[in-house]
Amino acid sequence: MLYEHVVCAFCGCVCDDIDVTVEDGRITQAKNACVLGKAWFLDHGKPTDLPAVRIDGQAASLEEGIDAAASLLARSHYPIIYGLSSTSCEAQRQAVALAEVLGGCIDCCTSVCHGPSGMAVQGVGEPTCTLGEVKNRANLVIYWGSNPAESHPRHMTRYAVTSRGMFTPNGRKDRTVVLVDVRPSPSSRAADIQLTVRPGKDFELLWALRALVQGQKVEESSLADTGVTLEQLVDLAGRMKSCRFGVLFVGQGLTQSRGKHMNLTAAFLLVRDLNRTTKFALMPMRGHGNVTGVDNVLAWQTGYPFGVNFSRGCPRFNPGEFTMVDVLRRGEADAVLSVASDPVASLPNSARRRLADVPVVAIDTHDSETTRIARVVFMAATAGIGVEGTAYRMDNVPLHLSKVLPTPYPSDEEILSRLLARVKEMKP
């Protein structure tokens, strides 16, 4: 059986042109998918014999699992719901409602990928566009602190570099590609210009670029520690001002380095300045398949994109206070619900240590470090393979996820909505 135009929900590119072949109840081919997409389709499509629910390692019924998880969460004083970046928006909605009923925190993987970008957007606004506009119009493409060749393998070919569009009929030949990073990376091959910035000096470089774009004088000596020369920067500022349509893709090289949201604020302000002379946009290179979706769902429902707390009965936002790493590191959380995520394997040691001390409920599509320590584990259908749903591409365009395989497991949405109903009964 061949399913055409299937959406890959592994990374933020959310490619919607995958042709999936299903034979004997498993996915045997994912045509057009990159190496990451192939691994996602083929490995998530493998049959498994794991029980749908485990309580303390023992197989249990869904009803028993819902009861056990609901009572762990309802009893806690400061629970946190975390993850949600690899599931559907429909499931994310249920998770927000559950956090509200519990009076706890809800945070998503955004806080450890592009949370600082979200904070900058709140401060100075977001000059943005869709990837369709990039494909059709952009003749200057800058990746800053990003290595798309490894993190988003089809970003350059499908949207931003080699793709041919209405005003870029010659594809690669119609664009100049610039890479700004602390190191040469596999993406460097695709760049016309590479600027190697010293670690932790992105803010200084972005601020100097702003000055140049505004026509101000910049001393060579002020760039001494950045690793970039004034000549290189003057050249880049000139290209940015004179391009027809420019786009700055920002990666975790900016969000995870010294300066964090201030790096992003500088980048957004630079792009705002550029719009006085040309058309320029900025887009964060969102990592997980539906991390953009969870920001949107949280923002519709609470007003904030991540790190939200309901303990006073209304949503409050405070990165550093209600975000997963901080809530764990300070030993505040007394129960954790992990959804479609593996915090035990992905968070810094000082934060994940807390996960061994508190009851953890895990909902995931496969076994992980987190399911191994969880008291209650639900196996769920993979959104986009075993169950339909909605995912947002990194440019905030929603796409429909298809079901291509039957699955014995319920969806995240179903598990979360049943958990919500049971917690409501326990916590009137």
Partner 1 sequence: MSERKLILITGRTTHQGVGISSGKHLEEYQTATNVVQFSPADMQRFGLHDDDMVRLKTIYGTATVKCRSADLPEGLAFLAFGPAANQLVGGETHASGMPDSKGFEIELEVLSA
Site for partner 1 in 273-312 (CB under 8 A): 287, 306-307
Which partner in ligand SF4, partner 1, none is near 33 (CB below 5 to 8 A by kind)?
ligand SF4
Does the footprint of partner 1 cover residue 257 (CB under 8 A)?
yes
Tally Cβ neighbours within 10 Å of residue 398.
14
Which partner in ligand SF4, partner 1, none is near 412 (CB below 5 to 8 A by kind)?
none
Kindly state the number of chain residues that form the binding site for ligand SF4, as judged by CB under 6 A.
Answer: 13
Cα(250)–Cα(241) distance, rounded to whole angstroms? 18
Beta carbon of residue 201, minimum distance to partner 1 (angstroms, whole number):
9
- What's CA 32's distance to the chain center, in Å? 22
Q: Which is nearer to ligand SF4, 153 or 293 (CB)?
A: 153
Contact map string, positions 383 to 412, toward partner 1, x by CB under 8 A: ------------------------------
Does the footprint of ligand SF4 cover residue 45 (CB under 6 A)?
no
Which part of the chain contacts partner 1 (CB under 8 A), choosing from 48-56, 131-139, 181-189, 295-303?
181-189
Pick one of 6, 20, 22, 37: the residue that binds ligand SF4 (CB under 6 A). 37
- Strand order of the β-sheet with 279-284 is 193-196, 176-181, 140-144, 245-250, 279-284
Does the footprint of ligand SF4 cover residue 329 (CB under 6 A)?
no
Contact map string, positions 152 to 181, toward ligand SF4, x by CB under 6 A: xxx---------------------------
Pick one of 142, 190, 347, 362: the residue that binds partner 1 (CB under 8 A). 347
Closest CA to 393 of 47, 97, 24, 13: 13
Contact 67, 378 (CB under 8 A): no
Q: Which is nearer to ligand SF4, 44 or 152 (CB)?
A: 152
Beta carbon of residue 168, minimum distance to partner 1 (angstroms, whole number):
27
User: Which single residue brings its beta carbon nearest to ligand SF4?
Assistant: 37
Structure tokens at 195: 């600027």
What's the 3-state SS for 294-363? HHHHHHHHHCCCCCEECCCCCCEECCCCCCHHHHHHCCCCCEEEEECCCHHHHCCHHHHHHHHCCCEEEE
Which partner in ligand SF4, partner 1, none is near 14 (CB below 5 to 8 A by kind)?
ligand SF4
Does the footprint of ligand SF4 cover residue 15 (CB under 6 A)?
yes
Long-range contacts made by residues 178-184, C-beta under 8 angstroms, separation at least 24? 178/140, 178/141, 178/142, 178/143, 178/236, 178/239, 179/142, 179/143, 180/142, 180/143, 180/144, 180/145, 180/205, 181/143, 181/144, 181/145, 181/146, 181/147, 181/253, 182/145, 182/253
Site for ligand SF4 in 16-35 (CB under 6 A): 33-34
